[in-house]
Amino acid sequence: MDNTTVQQSVDETDGQIQHIKGVVESLLFVNERPVTLDQIKKVLDTVNASDIKNAIAQLQREYEARSSGMMVVEIAGGYQMLSNPSYASYLRSFYKTKHKEKLSKPALECLAIIAYKQPVTRADIETIRGVNSDGVVAHLLDKELIKAIGRKDVPGRPYVYGTTKQFQEYFGLKSLEDLPVLEEFPALAPAAEANIIPLTDEDTAAGEGHKPETRDPASGQREADGAGIAAAEAPMETEAHTGGTEEKRALDNEPR
């Protein structure tokens, strides 16, 4: 093979990678949620997965090398284009976003228990926290950070809860294996997986938006969802004015 043929082959390879990068960049730009490798592969059906991964890695290096305002990150089982947190203060200034709703300390505590010990019942959560957690669980369900994933095969068949894909997206996790170690939460006896009954269609209809069962007032005081409690460092951006959807995505690593 002469030098001319080799150069042509190199040029064709470089051209293909540039094309793949362009397609991937476009897909990530227009999607609010992480795009999986399989989804990209369906669009680029003649390109193998290793070439797609190589193109994504090149995009990541290029963005980092020029301190781009955008980043391509692997998150929640897919890839997503996010704003660079280094420039978050400028975005806030541009949009003049003042109001932030933060998860309260009880909500973060409850969410951590569910994330590390899932699947867990409300009773499991309350055993660890030592207080009624109805309101906190309801709040996390409303935020779609957790969901009912089954019922425990014990008297009363209580719902068991786990985290959602949105939880992984919100905290920037590739998977639950990326959760940092939290030594402050005591070890809970391992849940008997065999005692977890999958949700039926009827359960699913009710369970996804399930609010915790009403507790007898005599059994314990209902805990406020953060009223009078210092908020912890886990911001939940809200739309402070019209056009807030686009602004919300641009702030604090929110999806593009």
CATH of the domain at 112: 1.10.10.10
Q: Domain check: are 117 and 79 in the same one?
A: no
Same domain for 147 and 200, yes or no, is yes
- Is residue 194 located within the same domain as residue 151? yes
* The predicted structure's pLDDT at residue 206: 52
In this structure, the answer to whether residues 81 and 179 fall within a common structural domain is no
Q: Is the pLDDT of residue 203 over 60?
A: no
Provide the pLDDT for residue 16. 86
Is 168 found in the same domain as 128?
A: yes
**How many domains in the chain?**
2
Residue 107 has pLDDT above 60, yes or no: yes
Give yes or no: residues 12 and 70 share one domain: yes
Domain termination residue (choose one: 65, 87, 109): 87
**Which tokens in the block code for residue 50?**
């290793």
In DSSP terms, 120 is beta-bridged to 161
Gap between the Cα atoms of 254 and 76, Å rounded: 13
Structure tokens at 98: 């003042």
In this prediction, residue 67 has a pLDDT band, given cuts at 50, 70 and 90, of very high
Is 197 in the same domain as 113?
Answer: yes
- Regarding whether 69 and 113 lie in a shared domain, the answer is no
Of 96-110, 153-167, 214-228, highest mean pLDDT = 153-167
- Domain match, 215 and 131 both: yes
Please tell me whether residues 126 and 189 are part of one structural domain. Answer: yes
Q: Is the pLDDT of residue 198 over 50?
A: yes
Domain annotation covers residue 244: no
Question: Is residue 92 domain-resident?
Answer: no
Q: What is the mean pLDDT of the chain?
A: 73
Tell me the mean pLDDT in the region 198-215.
51
Instruction: Tell me how far apart the alpha carbons of residues 145 and 122 are, in angstroms, rounded to a whole number.
Output: 15
**Number of Cα atoms under 13 Å in the Cβ half of residue 35:** 24
Q: Tell me: do 83 and 147 sit in the same domain.
A: no
Q: Domain of 208?
A: 101-219
SS3 letters across 145-213: CEEEEEEECCCCCCEEEEECHHHHHHHCCCCHHHCCCCCCCCCCCCCCHHHEEECCHHHHHHHCCCCCC
Q: Which residue has the tokens 């070439």?
A: 51
Predicted local confidence at residue 49, as pLDDT: 92
Please state the rounded mean pLDDT for residues 112-137. 92
Residue 77 has pLDDT above 70, yes or no: yes
Q: What is the mean pLDDT of residues 77-98?
A: 83
For residue range 30-55, what is the model confidence (pLDDT) as tens digits? 998 999 999 999 999 889 999 999 99
Residues 144 and 203 both lie in one domain:
yes
Considering the entire predicted model, what is its pTM?
Answer: 0.49
CB 81 within 8 A of CB 24: no
pLDDT tens by residue, 160-194 = 999 999 888 888 888 888 787 665 433 333 333 34
CA distance 74 to 155: 42
